[in-house]
Chain A
Amino acid sequence: MSDRQFGLVLALPAIISLVLVVGIPGIQTLIYSFQRVPLSDDPATFVGTDNYGKVLGDESFVESLVVTLQYTAGYVLLATVLGLLFALLLDQPLRGRGIARALLIIPWATPVIIAGVMWKWLIDPQVGGLNAVLFEIGVIEDYKPFLADREWALVFTILAAAWHQASFSALLFLASLQTLPNEIVEAARVDGATAWQRFRGVVFPWIRPMLLVVVVINVIYGVLQFDTVWVMTQGGPGDATTLLPILLYRQLFIFSDIGAGSALAVMLGVVAVLVSSIALILLGRDDPLAA
């Protein structure tokens, strides 16, 4: 057996799993998106692009798409930057670093539902700690019902989800930082490079491939966010946090329109791929290590 064949054999269980749980349902969803699909045993009928037209013609889709893109931008930025900061901090030879690294995994290991509930209580105007802190340090003059405000509701649902994801980003960045030879950093230090110059000229180029991975993962997670937002606001107030996955849930299980829901799912997938591709193109340009 050649190395190539052996590699294929090793990958086979994963390939089969992917085909079964992603490939076949994905193809079925694509087919449904061109059909009118009754919930009963009656056969589905081909309707061309009617479902896509129906979704695109619904003003709530456009509003939800805008909210989703805003949400994803904030989520990716926060989850990535916070993750990078955590990783850089925990890469330093600090006392208690081992414990801090172990603690880093806690947000990521916290079930998403619990994280959402926790954040909802944290920012509650009656009993939440955040208002008290902001009030005490003079940032706010009165306790704010953040989730009652359309803009703040979006901000805090982003924060809650990004907090959860940032620790995962940090773990990935930390893994990359661990492979950076200390001699290179020391050489830069000896040459008189400042901390910022060392980060910009040595550390960042080294972790850039991992940055790409982290950003793509975060984009996908951002576009597909559901749980945290559902727990905190159920898409409200109004439609302020109605992301596309929430719209999809409603289309499938409230309006019970499998065809339109499938079309929306396909479009959601396209949005995820498009945004990921844009991130890849932007971050992949001028990679000094790729030359």
Chain B
Amino acid sequence: MGLGLSLPAAAALLAACSGEDPEATRRTLRFVGWDFLPDTIQTHLDTWAAVSGGTVELEVLPVTGYPAAIQTRFRGGDRPDLFYNFTYLLGQFLENGWNRTLNDLPGVEERIDALYPGARSRFVTADGQITSLPYFSAVFMNHYNAAMVEQAGFSGPPQTLQEYYDQCAKIKADGISDAPYESSWLNERIEEYLMATLLGEGITPFDDAAQPVFADDPRSVDVLEWWRAMYQDGLTSPTILTDDNPELIGGMTQGTFAFYAGHDYWLKIFNDVGGPAAADLRMAPMPGAGQTLLAGEVVQMGPDLEGTALNDAWDLLKFYTGADNDGNFTVPLTWVEAAALAVPYPSFFEDPAIQAAYPDYYDLGVITSEYDRAGTPAARALSWYQGFQVKVGERVNDMLAGDATPAETVANMADDAVELAAG
């Protein structure tokens, strides 16, 4: 993926030939990120500056409240040159002209083509606008306590939703765990679980026009039936609707829960935290023969870039989000080492340095096969979708409380999506 000559160098060469002074449009870039390993971010920016001759200032915001903070800044006219962003904000930023699309930048198509096919829709809109490049990515996996599964008499983790239910029921009946299944079913995270489960069952949630076609597939009701049964039959954590990361980590590493469905980087977190059950934790594909959900966040470009500053920003964006000009995954390597965060390129997983950086308990064969079948509905990056996430939380909670049937819930969610999309 290396380009040979770096863009700033190329720009300088062109400018020299034309008699323009590249320094005239060069300025210090502003980079805004959230507070995950801020010292490492600074090191990366310093490394880039030393190689490129550019300059960049880092501003770190707390990840809690980052969406509100970054939106408020843009709304107030404070527009950084490069910034972390959540995927669900992509549509809104694009609509408001808060991010510069990347289509005209040299080599961007190669970068997009190098992505896993299922990842493309996270970075390219339906009408072809390239909005961003990956900060990190993850796939939904089924984390399980192998000792508990074995103790309950199963030879391996569940392959289907029915097996999932049966294993949880057996583990509970045998007194191995009172609450076999854990997830993050907080209001605004439920939608992610819904999409992961629908995709796993081979259901298409939204069509190319972002219409909610999941309601047309009767299996969607089956998915919610399963969901309701897991909860109402007491197979989940009793506080699953309000559990957050500390409850999840504590419950998995202490052996309270047998299963956790979530992003693949959790296995490293569990092992880093440790605990009596940590060594028994394994990772398997999500049940279902369909797709798995691809998740992750992005880095975007601000709208006020031109000339050498634009070239610098593009060079930095490439360096930060994938292979650098020498073909090395310099920045992503540090995220793997720190937290098992990936970027969705096959070449990333083929890189020997990356392979060596993953802990031994990661089966990269399983991870890459999951990336091969991973996908994400393009609708998730549209501006109205955030509202849909809230609605899904409300609808599923109502269903779990017994206020609506699964069939009604599916129909209501589809109506919500149509209504929100219509504005």
Q: Which residues of chain A have a CB within 8 Å of any CB of chain B?
A: 38-41, 60, 117, 120-121, 124-127, 145, 147-148, 150, 153, 232-239, 249-250, 252-256, 258
A237 with B71, Cβ < 8 A, contacts A254-B386, A256-B92 known: no
CA distance A120 to B187 in the complex (A): 17
Tell whether, in the assembled complex, residue B251 and residue A126 are in contact, meaning their CB atoms are under 8 Å apart.
Answer: yes
Could you tell me if A239 and B96 are in contact, using CB atoms closer than 8 angstroms?
A: no
Given known A-B contacts A234-B186, A254-B389, A239 and B238 have beta carbons under 8 A apart = no
Task: Tell me whether B401 and A237 are in contact (CB under 8 A).
Answer: yes
Chain B residues with a Cβ under 8 A of chain A: 67-68, 71, 74-75, 92, 95-98, 179, 186-188, 238-242, 246-247, 250-251, 256, 383, 386-387, 389-390, 393-394, 397-398, 400-401
B235 CB, min distance to chain A CBs, angstroms = 14
Q: Are B238's CB and A145's CB within 8 A?
A: yes
Chain B neighbourhood of A121, CB < 8 A:
246
Cα distance A190–B96 when bound, in Å?
76
Task: Report how many A-B pairs have Cβ atoms within 8 Å.
Answer: 85
A238 and B256 contact, Cβ closer than 8 Å, known pairs A41-B97, A148-B238 = no
Residues on the A chain within 8 Å of B389, using CB: 254
State which of A124, A233, A249 has its C-beta within 8 Å of the C-beta of B247: A124
Please, which residues of chain B bring their CB within 8 A of the CB of A234?
Answer: 186-188, 242
- A sample of 7 cross-chain residue pairs with beta-carbon separation below 8 angstroms, ordered by A number, consists of A125-B238, A236-B186, A237-B241, A237-B400, A252-B68, A253-B68, A256-B71
Q: How far is the CB of B300 from chain A (nearest CB, A)?
A: 15
Picked from B238, B246, B386, the residue with its CB within 8 Å of the CB of A256 is B386
Q: With A and B bound together, what is the CA distance between A234 and B188 in angstroms?
A: 9
A39 touches B96 (CB 8 A): yes
Secondary structure dominating the interface of A = loop
Nearest-CB distance from A99 to chain B (Å)?
32
**Alpha-carbon separation in the docked complex, A145 to B186 (Å):** 15
Measured CB to CB, the closest approach of chain B to A153, in angstroms, equals 7
B residues in contact with A38, CB < 8 Å: 96
B242 touches A233 (CB 8 A): yes
How far, in angstroms, from A96 to B161 measured CA to CA in the complex?
61
Q: What B residues does A254 contact at CB under 8 A? A: 188, 386-387, 389-390
Tell me whether B238 and A39 are in contact (CB under 8 A): no
Question: Which residues on A sit within 8 Å (CB–CB) of B187?
Answer: 234-236, 238
Q: How far, in angstroms, from A250 to B188 measured CA to CA in the complex?
A: 10
A115 to B389: give the CA distance in the assembly, Å: 28
Q: How far is the CA of A153 from the CA of B243 in the complex (A)?
A: 12
Query: Is the CB–CB distance between B75 and A39 below 8 Å?
Result: yes
A121-B246, A237-B241, A239-B394 given; 8 more Cβ-contact pairs under 8 Å? A39-B74, A40-B98, A126-B250, A126-B256, A145-B238, A236-B186, A254-B188, A255-B390
CA distance A117 to B401 in the complex (A): 25
B239–A147 contact, CB under 8 A?
yes
A177 to chain B, nearest CB (A): 39
Residues of chain A within 8 A (CB-CB) of B394 are 60, 238-239
Contacting residue for B95 out of A40, A117, A237, CB 8 A: A40
Residue of B nearest to A144 (CB): B238
Task: Give the dominant DSSP class at B's interface.
Answer: helix
Chain B residues near A120 (CB, 8 Å)?
242
For residue A279, give the distance in angstroms from its CB to the closest CB of chain B. 31
User: A258 to chain B: which residues have CB within 8 Å?
Assistant: 75
A150 CB contacts on chain B under 8 angstroms:
401
Distance of A21 Cα from B74 Cα, bound (Å): 20
Residue of A148, A249, A255 with most chain B CB atoms under a 10 A cut-off: A148
Complex CA gap A148/B239 in Å reads 5
Q: Which residues of B have CB within 8 Å of A249?
A: 68
Assembled-state Cα–Cα distance A126/B113 (Å): 48
Q: Do A40 and B256 contact each other (CB < 8 Å), given the known contacts A236-B397, A250-B390?
A: no
Determine whether the beta carbon of B256 is less than 8 Å from that of A148: no
Contacting residues, chain A, for B256 (C-beta < 8 A): 126
Residue B92 contacts which of A39, A117, A250 (CB distance < 8 angstroms)? A39
Q: In the complex, what residues of B have CB within 8 A of residue A117's CB?
A: 246
Nearest-CB distance from B292 to chain A (Å)? 25
Within the complex, the shortest CB–CB distance from A80 to chain B, in Å, comes to 27
In the A-B complex, the 10 residue pairs with the smallest Cβ-Cβ separation, listed nearest first, are A145-B238, A238-B397, A237-B241, A40-B96, A253-B68, A147-B242, A39-B96, A254-B386, A233-B242, A145-B239
B398 partner residues in chain A, CB cutoff 8 A:
238
Complex-state Cα separation, A41 to B74, whole angstroms: 10
Residue in chain A with minimal CB distance to B393:
A236
The answer to whether A236 and B241 touch across the interface, beta carbons within 8 angstroms, is yes
Q: How far is the CA of A40 from the CA of B79 in the complex (A)?
A: 12
A156 to B: closest C-beta gap in Å? 10
Closest to B89 in A: A256
Complex Cα distance, B239 from A145, in Å, reads 6
Beyond A249-B68, A253-B67, A255-B387, is A124–B96 a contact (Cβ under 8 Å)?
no
In the complex, the answer to whether B242 meets A232 with C-beta atoms within 8 Å is: yes
Chain A nearest Cβ from B230, distance in angstroms: 14
CA A57 – CA B98 in complex, angstroms? 31
Nearest-neighbour CB distance to chain B for A230, whole angstroms, equals 9
- Nearest B-chain residue to A123, judged by Cβ: B239
CA distance A258 to B72 in the complex (A): 11
Measured CA separation A155–B397 after assembly (Å):
19
Which chain A residues lie closer than 8 Å to B97 at the CB level?
40-41
CB distance from A234 to the nearest CB of B (A): 5
- In the complex, how many angstroms separate the beta carbon of B69 from the nearest chain A beta carbon? 9
Distance (whole angstroms) from the CB of A274 to the closest CB of chain B: 27
- Complex CA–CA separation, A127 to B238 (angstroms): 13
Chain A residues with CB below 8 A from B239, complex form: 124-125, 145, 147-148
* Smallest CB gap from A117: residue in B: B246
Among the listed A235, A237, A255, which residue makes an inter-chain contact with B386, where contact means beta carbons less than 8 Å apart? Answer: A255
Report Cα–Cα, A204/B95, bound state, in Å: 60
B residues less than 8 Å from A237 (CB atoms): 241-242, 397, 400-401
Chain B residues near A252: list those with CB within 8 A: 68
Highest count of chain B CB atoms <10 Å: which of A60, A124, A125, A236: A236
Residues of B contacting A235 in the complex (Cβ-Cβ under 8 angstroms): 187
